[in-house]
Amino acid sequence: MVNALANLDISLYRQLIRLQRSLAAARMARFLSRSGDGYLYVVLGLVFLLVDDSRGPLAARAMLLAFLIELPCFMALKAIIRRDRPFVSVADSTRVITPADTFSMPSGHTAAAFLMATLIAFFFSAILLPIYLWALLIGLSRVILGVHYPSDILAGAALGTSCAVLSLVLLT
């Protein structure tokens, strides 16, 4: 069963990195990936503080708490799992960008995106679908760019969502 899942992961990775051949797809993947680099989260936190009702400041506190939970968990998981990036271990694979660290699981970009999507969906439910689509596209962009396996994206999504929910449970 484990081998079948690993083979599926590699197969999906190989299919998605084919999109690198398209200049438009590679550019879009870079743009989406950059939207999850972190600066946007600082801006969103400030915007939350400026929202003129009780949701904004509470959302900002939840975001801060969620990241205080997520970052050490993310770093510990990377150090424990130590999974090589796919461009290192999958033959004939390529990467479009240089990742910030050595290991691939979980995807930090995806964890942060799903953390934010979960919080935004909770506090501002009118944009639930587009914000989760954005988070999913950030994850997929990381695979297309050749720096993550699909399972890294699933792990990142689970980590980010869990940390957001935990922060909400603790604060609300």
User: How confident is the model over 76-101, as pLDDT tens digits?
Assistant: 999 999 999 999 988 888 888 888 88
**Whole-prediction pTM:** 0.92
Please indicate, yes or no, if residue 9 is contained in any of the structural domains.
Answer: no
Please indicate, yes or no, if residue 10 is contained in any of the structural domains.
Answer: no
What tokens does 90 get? 């999958």
- The pLDDT > 90 percentage for the chain reads 65
What residues make up the domain containing 158? Answer: 23-171
Please indicate, yes or no, if residue 11 is contained in any of the structural domains.
Answer: no
Cα atoms found within 13 Å of the Cα of residue 170, Cβ hemisphere only: 15
Residues 39-61 have pLDDT tens digits of 888 888 888 888 767 788 888 89
pLDDT for the residue numbered 105:
94
Please indicate, yes or no, if residue 15 is contained in any of the structural domains.
Answer: no
Question: Distance between CA atoms of 158 and 113, rounded to whole angstroms?
Answer: 11
Question: Distance between CA atoms of 98 and 28, rounded to whole angstroms?
Answer: 16
Give the residue-averaged pLDDT of 148-157.
97
Mean pLDDT score of the chain, rounded to an integer? Answer: 92
CB-based burial of residue 68 (10 Å sphere; 0-12 exposed, 13-18 middle, 19+ buried)? exposed
- For 130-151, letters b (16+ CB in 10 Å) and e give ebbebbbbbbbbbbbbbbbbbb
Give the residue-averaged pLDDT of 109-135.
95
Beta-bridged to residue 94, according to DSSP, are: none
- Beta-carbon contacts of 129 under 8 Å, excluding residues fewer than 6 positions away, are none
What tokens does 27 get? 């550019």
pLDDT for the residue numbered 2:
73
Residue labelled with tokens 């390529």 = 94
C-beta of residue 107 within 8 angstroms of C-beta of residue 139: yes
Please indicate, yes or no, if residue 139 is contained in any of the structural domains.
Answer: yes
Tally of domains in the chain: 1
pLDDT for the residue numbered 40:
85
Please indicate, yes or no, if residue 94 is contained in any of the structural domains.
Answer: yes
Which ranges in the chain belong to alpha helices (H)? 2-17, 23-34, 39-50, 55-81, 86-89, 108-123, 128-144, 150-171
